[in-house]
Structure 1
């Protein structure tokens, strides 16, 4: 049984999801494919990947593997593609995902209609991008325009439904599709306390408004003991990364499109923080997440050429790193070894090209100017629950 997630941070809804996964399937092993220190919104995770893996294992997961940066520094369709690929690599036969309201059969019916219209959607996307829309915005606009006659009783544009739809699309492309189980989001717990999302938890934490019963005790303790990381910690590094480059050099950065580099240079000179910069750059054409992924690529100094090389290296020899496991997870890893399924617990220089993105992200993550962040790769950080 598997799930694709970020746990940024691990909250009560995640605990409920793990509980439901085991209850509904009697799964012998629960595998979590989790983003590393960069999450899909284009930000750094509030808690590092090792601690988040520990929280997952202590909360019911058996094995936590790290998704490549190829998943988390891209739009939802790529995140889903690499997430499904990861679960398939680890021989998962059933996977779960969260939704706002939709059930599996509702989503599957919608996906079948979407697949029938996919060629027309793909044809419309380049034209929308040429008009200045971000890739994510172009996908959504093309889909909404060509699927407007499809009757649905849920909102396909809500964040969890967008991911769920993409998971199902890529799952169907596997040689042997996994069984999919939608777990609608729990809105409140048994005490009728409203459950907070990850973004709400992060906002309340940094505004000193988070209460102990807002999330699991272990997560609250992890936040309390810190360090807790936010995007704005890296403002000085980002500003240097932008202003130390020419507009031509910036134009070669990952996700950058023609003309945006000049706007970025102009606006960053006038901004006093990343939040200030985001307000000046965000528009109907440019979503917050798409801009943040551009900024993250600039901060990590990842060019389009480097990214293509990284993609090829990962495609030729995927590199999946283990972040944590318990005894059941360890038994499953032994089974994978016997069946010659490749995975890693350490960094090997001869395979670093396939781990390039995560390694670069971890190095910069640890450079936080405001907090002492532990080194992320060469110490013994793997969490093992006996």
Structure 2
């Protein structure tokens, strides 16, 4: 069987994701689609709208054959490490190719961009350092340096100011660094961009737009046009059980407690907390009772909103610099959900896997990366502040991979 990999968060699974999934199967002529999916905390440093089990069931119901969890350390990392962890797992799963959505839509442009940055690596890094000395954020410094070195070329390059283009570039970079034979493909995003609001006249909206509507108090019936019926069913069941969706506003009371009870020195030991941000975070937590005002106080030109949220995610999960430095690549393959085809594919490659296949976490509980996943999952459920969330603590030990 021929397998293609995709890297997803599905927060939540919507019609744009369905388009990507369907076009991936057509473009790659694959028998199996494997999704590497973030767990309960995401790359932009925020809690997932609904948990990984609900999102993985949505994925399989919509046509994904096999969902694998991207470990916490990679799921909450900057783009390069997020991509490295995901592509490493897809390669380990014997995928023939991987296919990502992008604003660009042209694989050739991504390849030209990768070649340019490879040949001008020293010049690029020097320019990045120069821009960062001016006090701007790392992502903006990357973009400014990229614009500078790309001025002299006439080939078609990727716009690396676009979020999905950035991830796509890093997927290709990761595959090259791994010396993998896995073949990249891309599909252009349609209608809605990553940060766009949801428009009532459209049937495709960004996950960001859908979440915004829900957090503004819109009912699920008012966003059902943007997602398959199976996703609406999953969100309805979640809301019925839990009464609310995951967000930083909901998690903030627990986060604030953890910040205030810590010393500034302890906060400085947390992964990604750097350049005195522990002081700003601690001071803001002392005075702000809601997440938005807290973030408004500590945001700056130096640090993007996303990077600050990743710091806060690591504070919430107590993930330290020392732990981060010990992690290089994923150390296991953990299935979350699959259909019969995905199950058959996994059985067919099981003996050839170079990584342990973890179906029962109790059998692999000594793995430090897996322990991070388990702890992050439990803390996510506690952050929901509901009886349902409390009952889900320890669920990683109780729930086996879902077979639909």
TM-score by structure 1 length? 0.91
Q: Secondary structure at the match of 2:366?
A: helix
Is 1:173–2:177 an aligned residue pair?
yes
8 A Cα contact 1:69 1:357, kept in partner: yes
- The more displaced of 343-352 and 107-116 is 343-352
Q: Secondary structure at the match of 1:255?
A: coil
Q: Distance in 2 between matches of 1:134 and 1:73?
A: 18
8 A Cα contact 1:268 1:277, kept in partner: yes
8 A Cα contact 1:137 1:286, kept in partner: no
Q: Secondary structure at the match of 2:146?
A: helix
**Aligned counterpart, 1:74:** 77
1:368–1:176 distance in 2 versus 1, CA, 3 Å: closer
What displacement does 1:138 show? Answer: 4.0
After TM superposition, the structure 1 = structure 2 runs for residues 297-308 of structure 1, keeping only pairs within 5 Å, are 297-308=314-325
Is 1:34–2:37 an aligned residue pair?
yes
1:127–1:238 distance in 2 versus 1, CA, 3 Å: farther
1:126–1:246 distance in 2 versus 1, CA, 3 Å: farther
Q: Deviations over 1:130-182 (max 9, x none)?
A: 66555444433433333343454652210011111111111122323321111
Q: Distance in 1 between matches of 2:228 and 2:216?
A: 19
Is 1:266–2:283 an aligned residue pair?
yes
Among 164, 186, 189, the residue aligned to 2:190: 186
**Aligned counterpart, 1:329:** 342
Q: Secondary structure at the match of 1:367?
A: helix
What displacement does 1:105 show? Answer: 1.2
8 A Cα contact 1:255 1:293, kept in partner: yes
1:273–1:370 distance in 2 versus 1, CA, 3 Å: same
**Aligned counterpart, 2:225:** 213
8 A Cα contact 1:50 1:381, kept in partner: no
**Aligned counterpart, 2:197:** none
What displacement does 1:93 show? Answer: 1.3
Q: Secondary structure at the match of 1:294?
A: helix
Q: Deviations over 1:32-51 (max 9, x none)?
A: 01101111000011011011
Is 1:245–2:258 an aligned residue pair?
no
- Consecutive unaligned residues of structure 2, counting only runs of 5 or more, are 193-199
Is 1:49–2:52 an aligned residue pair?
yes
1:172–1:70 distance in 2 versus 1, CA, 3 Å: same
8 A Cα contact 1:102 1:154, kept in partner: no
Q: Deviations over 1:1-21 (max 9, x none)?
A: 110111111110111111111
- Consecutive unaligned residues of structure 1, counting only runs of 5 or more, are none
1:131–1:258 distance in 2 versus 1, CA, 3 Å: farther
- The more displaced of 127-136 and 38-47 is 127-136
**Aligned counterpart, 1:346:** 360
1:127–1:101 distance in 2 versus 1, CA, 3 Å: closer
8 A Cα contact 1:38 1:73, kept in partner: yes
- The more displaced of 113-122 and 133-142 is 133-142
Q: Distance in 2 between matches of 1:141 and 1:155?
A: 11
Among 100, 104, 108, the residue aligned to 1:105: 108
Q: Distance in 2 between matches of 1:240 and 1:129?
A: 33
Q: Distance in 1 between matches of 2:246 and 2:352?
A: 39
- The more displaced of 56-65 and 259-268 is 259-268
Is 1:362–2:377 an aligned residue pair?
yes
What displacement does 1:269 show? Answer: 1.8
Q: Deviations over 1:229-270 (max 9, x none)?
A: 111111111111111111111111110112111111112222
Q: Distance in 1 between matches of 2:257 and 2:135?
A: 26
**Aligned counterpart, 1:225:** 237
Among 299, 318, 331, the residue aligned to 2:331: 318
What displacement does 1:112 show? Answer: 1.3
**Aligned counterpart, 1:89:** 92
1:192–1:200 distance in 2 versus 1, CA, 3 Å: closer
1:102–1:150 distance in 2 versus 1, CA, 3 Å: farther
TM-score by structure 2 length? 0.88
Q: CA RMSD in A?
A: 2.2
**Runs of 4+ in structure 1 displaced over 6 angstroms?**
none
8 A Cα contact 2:32 2:65, kept in partner: yes
Q: Distance in 2 between matches of 1:346 and 1:130?
A: 48
**Aligned counterpart, 2:205:** 196
Q: Distance in 2 between matches of 1:369 and 1:165?
A: 34
